[in-house]
Amino acid sequence: MNLIIDVGNTLVKFAVFQQNTLLEKKTVEGKNALKAFKKIIKDFPFLKNAVVSYVGKLEKTVFDAINAELKLLVLDQDTKLPFKNMYKTPQTLGVDRIALVSASVKEYSNSNVLIIDAGTCITYDFITKDNEYLGGAISPGIRLRYTTLNTFTANLPLLSTEMPEQLIGDTTASSIHSGVVIGILKEIDGVIDEYQQEYEDLTVILTGGDSDFLSKQLKNGIFANSNFLLEGLNFILEFNSH
């Protein structure tokens, strides 16, 4: 039984897996991570192995508590991976992207796969049917675009995410919604189109916090999976346990 810990910029996700089956998932603020871990250990006494993936910071007390209870793997750029990494700067490749690519290897082996993670940033990661990870792209996510317009201008308001009713914004608010949301949708569809022209039989995975919001609006066929990163981390843990 495995414990998966995904440390994001603001939140920490815990997931319990029995082999490939997700049994429990909990998302907490970083300040509540130790309390959440203690409860999980109590609820799942047969936990043996754990993997932690850092994008944000995990307090040392939490790390020490996990390390004391479980056999812990800390995912980094030197961890043994289930794919051939062709990235020219592997030491700068984010562990979240590594986990997503690993999940694609498990779920869609021998396929050309484009993984799109729509979170704080939108990341695009591509792995070939020959199991070679080539790289991808990084662009600002939905909230980052709304926040940037507000932060770096004098008069534009900070708005909540909203699907615009029409392409042409006839107010400042509707213009922002059109620019941000339709702009992102066109970007994602355009990137998918480019990959489809280059690679046959392309499988596209959409994941991340904004995947549910975006998946209903995209014209290209995709598979939406909000747990894809957690599944990838579990696969890496299993891959390194044998």
Length of the chain counted residue by residue? 242
The active-site residue out of 6, 96, 117, 210 is 96
210 is catalytic: no
What are the residue numbers of the active site? 96
